[in-house]
Amino acid sequence: MKTSPTLILAYLVGFLFIGSADSLAQKLSLGVFEDHGDIGNVLKKGSASYNPKTREYNLSGSGYNIWFDHDEFHFLHKRMKGDFILYTRAALVGKGVDPHRKVGWMVRSSLDGKSPHINAVVHGDGLTSLQFRRTAGANTDEVKSTLTHADVIQLERKGNTYTMRVAKFGEPFVTEQVADLNLGEEVYVGLFVGSHNKDVLERGVFRDVRISAPAPESLVPYKQYLGSNLEILDVTTGSRQVIYNSPKSLQAPNWTPDNKTLIYNSDGLIYAFNLAKGQPTQLNTGDVKNNNNDHVLSFDGKMLGLSSGVQALGGSIIYTVPTKGGTPKQVIQKGPSYLHGWSPDKKHLVFTGQRDNEFDIYRMPSEGGSEVKLTEAKGLDDGPEYTPDGKYIYFNSARTGTMQIYRMKADGSEQTAITNDEFHDWFPHISPDGKWIVFLSFLKEEVKANDHPFYKHVYLRMLPISGEGQPKVIAYIYGGQGTINTPSWSPDSKRVAFISNSEISSISPVEK
């Protein structure tokens, strides 16, 4: 019996469709990665998968080791060029068999078992180290971290320098570095699991996986921008979810009290992001279209305060507008003035103003009127915000040479330092239940006390409202300016919204 050309074509189309469907299913199952497989001559085949509900990657792998002149393990990977920052929270599953089973990030020149590579790894016994092979078939070298049992692993490439930053979740990073390691321009980047026992499969779980492409050296600040991820963070567990991303600069999300909307600025405009639909719409602010990231909702959520650049008036000028949009009302006549807070009764605004070459904190009526100066100390005072009971204002100040968090009474009296550590701390935000403060911390080796630039390594840290105890790191972020300049707590005080940054090519996909 002869087969018709039409039937042959149908078979071919069906075959191609099935192949495409299988390929698509595999791609979706690997999240941000392209492929996975065993490296070296393993006896037990490994596996890799992504669970979109839990936003976790699960890997299993066997192999004798990742050591000496060759490697055996399982690798989930993608190809990348240029500089990058790799971040995850990782854990081995169960008690395991060998104390040197491994989990972590790896960068390889090729998928050959003897390939040059570098990995940031945590072993089953807690050893945390940076391991690397400079040339194909060479013995592996190791730089051990002073920290053991890390569960936060970050590996960064800048040129031929690789930096490992590791932490126990809640604590700052501990850093190790290897320079002059040339793995080539295009490399394989990914997560791995190795059992250190050829007869055993071990499992690892990875969450909050982020692959970021940082700002190039040529980037001109405030004229060129990276893309943005709008993320939501559970402040108790530290779990993160990307809910929206854009190739543009999104900044300073505010969370409305009705739990329906996040309000942020981008390109001088204000946007309302519908949390249920996952989409933004532009908010009507009339002719006020040069808005910066110092915009704040009133406590009842009915009014929005804006800071918008007006060069003829000295810079940033403060306006108020209904949260649903409308014609803004100018409430201050002199700039630069940067709004940061409403009083709970909506009668007053607190802002940072530059007057007589000094930045201080001022209070004024929300309907307009005379300014009242609340701080006098030399050095930048910024980020004022009322507590929900209206009794105190928290702010940040560089008066001692280091930017720290302070508290004062609403009339400006009894100014007291809340933090005093090795970071520059900015923008204290008080939870709606009045129990917690979240703030942004810059590294002293990266920024000056009076600066809060874009595109740096930053922490979100949290403290009880009393300031007692050590701040807990609740997020490790590539961001800075625009990440969390304004109040962004959820109404139930369980989550905060923030912005992280990356070049467009490495923007994290939305996590359902």
Task: Output the pLDDT for position 8.
Answer: 37
Query: Which two tokens mark 119?
Result: 């990995």
Query: What value does the mean pLDDT take over residues 487-497?
Result: 97
In a domain, 133, yes or no: yes
Torsion, CA 399, CA 400, CA 405, CA 406, rounded to 10: -60
For 28, the 3-state DSSP assignment is helix
Domains identified in the chain, total number: 2
**DSSP state string for 7-34:** HHHHHHHHHHHHHHHHHHHHHHHTTT--
The torsion angles phi and psi of 417, rounded to 5 degrees, stand at: -70, 135
Average pLDDT score, the chain: 94
Helix-then-strand count for the chain, H and E: 1, 39
Answer for the pair 357, 313: CB distance below 8 angstroms, yes or no: no
Answer for the pair 395, 412: CB distance below 8 angstroms, yes or no: no
Tell me how far apart the 2 most distant CA atoms of the chain are, in Å. Answer: 98
Angle at 101 between CA 97 and CA 106, to 5 degrees: 160
Indicate which CATH number applies to the domain containing 374. Answer: 2.120.10.30
B/e letters for 479-495, b = 16+ CB within 10 Å, e = fewer, are bbbbbbbbbbbbbebeb
Query: Which two tokens mark 496?
Result: 């905060």
Among residues of the chain, what percentage have pLDDT more than 90? 93
Distances (CA, A) of 512 to 52, 56, 232, 267, 370: 6, 12, 12, 27, 48
In a domain, 221, yes or no: no
Domain end residue (candidates: 163, 188, 212): 212
Distances (CA, A) of 173 to 87, 146, 147, 473: 12, 11, 9, 10
One domain, residues 204 and 275: no
**Over the stretch 191-236, which tens digit does the pLDDT of each residue have?**
999 999 999 999 999 999 999 999 999 999 999 999 999 999 999 9
| Element holding 235 (H helix, E strand) | none
Task: Output the pLDDT for position 27.
Answer: 52
One domain, residues 316 and 450: yes
One domain, residues 422 and 468: yes
Answer for the pair 152, 43: CB distance below 8 angstroms, yes or no: no
One domain, residues 201 and 282: no
At 14, the pLDDT band (50, 70, 90 cuts) reads: very low
In a domain, 500, yes or no: yes
Q: Write the burial class of residue 4 (CB in 10 Å: 0-12 exposed, 13-18 middle, 19+ buried).
A: exposed
Domain end residue (candidates: 168, 188, 212): 212
At 484, the pLDDT band (50, 70, 90 cuts) reads: very high
Task: Output the pLDDT for position 508.
Answer: 85
In angstroms, the CA 283 to CA 295 distance is 13
In a domain, 12, yes or no: no
In angstroms, the CA 127 to CA 144 distance is 8
Angle at 440 between CA 439 and CA 446, to 5 degrees: 155
Residues 6+ apart with CB under 8 A from 127: 100, 144, 148
- Half-sphere exposure of residue 139: CA atoms within 13 angstroms, side-chain side: 2
Task: Output the pLDDT for position 405.
Answer: 98
Closest CA to 408 of 472, 451, 363: 363
Query: What value does the mean pLDDT take over residues 316-320?
Result: 98
**Over the stretch 141-160, which tens digit does the pLDDT of each residue have?**
999 999 999 999 999 999 99
Distances (CA, A) of 212 to 45, 85, 350, 488: 30, 5, 35, 23
Domain with 462 in it? 227-506
Tokens 């039937």, located at residue: 7
Indicate which CATH number applies to the domain containing 123. Answer: 2.60.120.200
In a domain, 5, yes or no: no
Tokens 């492409």, located at residue: 213
In a domain, 3, yes or no: no
Task: Output the pLDDT for position 507.
Answer: 82
Closest CA to 392 of 368, 412, 364: 412
Domain end residue (candidates: 180, 212, 244): 212
One domain, residues 205 and 324: no
**Over the stretch 232-281, which tens digit does the pLDDT of each residue have?**
999 999 999 999 999 999 999 999 999 999 999 999 999 999 999 999 99
At 20, the pLDDT band (50, 70, 90 cuts) reads: very low
At 298, the pLDDT band (50, 70, 90 cuts) reads: very high
User: From the centroid of its chain, how far is CA 167?
Assistant: 16
Q: Is pLDDT above 80 for 23?
A: no
Task: Output the pLDDT for position 28.
Answer: 54
End-to-end CA, the chain: 51
Query: What value does the mean pLDDT take over residues 67-96?
Result: 98
Query: What value does the mean pLDDT take over residues 459-473?
Result: 96
Task: Output the pLDDT for position 30.
Answer: 96
**Over the stretch 406-448, which tens digit does the pLDDT of each residue have?**
999 999 999 999 999 999 999 999 999 999 999 999 999 999 9
At 65, the pLDDT band (50, 70, 90 cuts) reads: very high
Torsion, CA 104, CA 108, CA 111, CA 116, rounded to 10: -120
One domain, residues 194 and 323: no
One domain, residues 205 and 62: yes
Distances (CA, A) of 345 to 10, 131, 341, 390, 435: 71, 57, 12, 8, 19
Query: Which two tokens mark 76?
Result: 């989930």
In a domain, 25, yes or no: no
One domain, residues 247 and 314: yes
DSSP state of 427: E
In a domain, 338, yes or no: yes
